Amino acid sequence: MRYLKSLLIVALLVGSGCNDFLEEQVFTEYDPSTFLNSEAGINAVLTATYRQSRPLYRETWFSFAGWTTDLQLERGGGYAAPAATFANFQWLPSNGFFRNNWRELYEAVRNANSLLDNIDEVTAISANRIAALKGEAQFLRAFNYYVLHDLFGGVPLITSAKELNLEVPRNSADEVLTFLETELRTAASNLPVNAELSGKATKGAALALLGRIMLNAKQWQKAADAMGEVIALNKYQLFTPVEGLFSVQNEGNDELIFVFESLATGPGWNYTPHAYPVGYQTGQVNYGAQFQLWRWFVESFHPDDRRALEYDPDNGKFGWILKSYINKGGNLVDLQNDEIIPGVEKLYPRSFKFTPDPDALGAQHGNDIPILRYAEVLIARAEALNELNGPTQESIDLLNEVRTRAEAPLYDLADFPTKESLRDQILVERGWEFFTEGLRRQDLIRHGKFISSAQERGKTLAQPHHVLFPLPQTELDANPALEQNPGY
C-alpha cells in the first residue's frame, strides 16, 4: 500500500517532535500541536482539504461514470484510448486512473485526520466554533470516503494520522457505509445551515450526501428521511430558468447545496474545452478530445422540456445542449442529424450545461463544480418513497416540482400503476436532469441495469464484477494486507 504508507510516515513525522534542548521549529512541515492552535491555522488546513477533495472530474465523472454508461461518448484527442478502455469494460488494476484517485482521496483524508486529531486540544476558540470547524473536516473526510466506497467498495478506514500501520487491511463495504452514516450525522449536527463563506460545507450538504449514500445502499427509509430533513430546512429551492443554473453569473444560487468553487485563474474547471466541437467559433481553448451525448438521448426529451433547449448564443439562447453551429468555414454543422462519417465520430450533440465562462483563461473556466443540488434531493426522496410504498401522490408531486421548473408535461399518479413502472421512469427522469454530472453509473447500478445496459450496447466484456473497480495494483504490491476485488 505504497501511497498510504508514505502518508502515514509523513503524518507520524509531522505529528512528533524532539523533546530536548535541540528541538527546533519545523518550517517545511507544519507541527499540528502549534499550527492548529489558532483559527487561522485550522482554516489553512481546511482550505487545503477542500482543494485536495476536488474531484478528478475527467476520471470520476466521465471515464468512470460517463463512458461506462448509456448517455455519453468520447472520441478524439489523447483521451480517446483511455476512454475506449472504460467504454469497452477493459480496465485493469494497473490503470493509472485508479492510482491517481486513490492517491488524491487519501491525501484529503490525511489532511482531515490531522485536523481532527488535534482540534479538541485547542482552547483559544469557543466550543461552538470548534464544533463547526470539526463538522467541516468530518464532512470532507466523509466525502472522500464516499468516493472511495463508490469506486472500490470496502477500503481501509484510516481515521487518525497519529497511528503508523504500514499494512492496513480493507474494511468491509458495510463497515465503510456505517462509518459514512455516523460521520455525516455527526457533521450535520455541528454544521451551520448557512455557510459563512460560499463553498463551505453546511448541514444541508451533510444531509444531502447522506441521503445519496443511503439511496445507493438501498436503505430507502434512511434515504427518504435524510432528504426530507434537507427539504425541512426551508433553505433551498429550484433555480429558474433551468438553463442558467450552472453559469458563472448565477453561482451561489439557492439550488446548489454544495459545490467546489472554481476560478479562471485557478483552480479552474476545464470541461468546456472538451465540449466545444471541431471548428467551433470560439477564441477559447478547444480540445481534440470531444465529450459528447448520444443522439438518441437528446431525442428522448419532450419537445417542451427546457432541459433540452439548444445552446445558440448568437440568438440569445443558452440552453443545456449544443445541437448545431456554424463552423469556422461558415458551414452549418448539425450535430443531431448530419450523417456520421465512419471513423470520425465527432458529430454528436454536446452538453453545455456548464455555460462557457466568457472570462475563461486558457482552458480554465470559472464554473463551480456542482456536487449536491436541490433537484437531486427531490427526485431521490421520490425514488425512496416509491421503493417503500409504491407510487404515491407525494412521490409524483416531488418529481413534478422538477418537471414544472423544466416546463415539461407533469406526471399523473394514474400513469404509474406499479412500483416498477414509476421506478423505471425515475431512472429516465434522472438521466434528463443529471446528465454529465457524474451520477449515471451510480443510478444504473442501483437500478440493476449497469451491466445489462452495457451488454445491450454490445459491450460483451461487461460482467457483474465490474460494478466495482479494482484496487490499484501499486497499492496491492506495497501492502500484502490488501485483497483485490473479485474478478480482477
345 — pLDDT class (breaks 50, 70, 90): confident
Residues 149 and 143: their CA atoms lie apart, in Å, by: 10
What is the Cα Rg of the chain in Å? Answer: 23
Q: Are 242 and 318 in contact (CB under 8 A)?
A: no
pLDDT by residue (tens digit) across 281-324? 999 999 999 999 999 999 999 999 999 999 999 888 899 999 99
Mean pLDDT of 372-394: 98
Q: Are 141 and 112 in contact (CB under 8 A)?
A: yes
34 — pLDDT class (breaks 50, 70, 90): low
- Which is nearest to 442 in space by CA: 142, 68, 156? 68
H or E element that contains 370 = strand 369-373
Cell triple for residue 207? 444531509
The whole-number pLDDT of residue 40 equals 86
Mean pLDDT of 482-487: 97
Cell triple for residue 452? 445489462
408 — pLDDT class (breaks 50, 70, 90): very high
Cell triple for residue 359? 472570462
Higher-confidence residue of 125 and 433: namely 433
Q: For residue 402, give the amino acid letter.
A: V
Determine how β-strand 256-260 pairs with β-strand 369-373. Answer: antiparallel
pLDDT above 70 as % of the chain: 93
33 — pLDDT class (breaks 50, 70, 90): low
Q: Which residues fall within 8 angstroms of residue 243, CB to CB, at 6 or more apart?
A: 306, 307, 309, 318, 319, 320, 355
Residues 77 and 291: their CA atoms lie apart, in Å, by: 10
Residues 104 and 95: their CA atoms lie apart, in Å, by: 15
Mean pLDDT of 181-189: 98
With 80 as the cut, is the pLDDT of residue 17 above it?
no
At 310, is the secondary structure helix, strand, or coil?
A: strand
CA angle 270, 275, 278 (to 5 degrees): 120
With 90 as the cut, is the pLDDT of residue 24 above it?
no
With 60 as the cut, is the pLDDT of residue 2 above it?
no
Go through the domains of the chain in sequence order and give each one's CATH number.
2-18+27-191+469-478 (1.25.40.390)
DSSP type of residue 485: P
Dmax (CA) for the chain in angstroms is 80
At 11, is the secondary structure helix, strand, or coil?
A: helix
Looking at every residue in the chain, the average pLDDT score rounds to: 92
The whole-number pLDDT of residue 26 equals 42
38 — pLDDT class (breaks 50, 70, 90): confident
Determine how β-strand 311-312 pairs with β-strand 256-260. Answer: unpaired
- State the number of CA atoms in the 13 A half-sphere of 59 facing the CB: 17
With 90 as the cut, is the pLDDT of residue 19 above it?
no
Q: What is the pTM of this model?
A: 0.92
Higher-confidence residue of 220 and 120: namely 220
Residues 395 and 410: their CA atoms lie apart, in Å, by: 12
Q: Which residues pair with 351 in a beta bridge?
A: 321
- State the number of CA atoms in the 13 A half-sphere of 46 facing the CB: 23
With 60 as the cut, is the pLDDT of residue 22 above it?
no
Mean pLDDT of 238-258: 97
- Which is nearest to 375 in space by CA: 351, 401, 352? 401
- Which is nearest to 43 in space by CA: 173, 201, 159? 201
With 50 as the cut, is the pLDDT of residue 169 above it?
yes
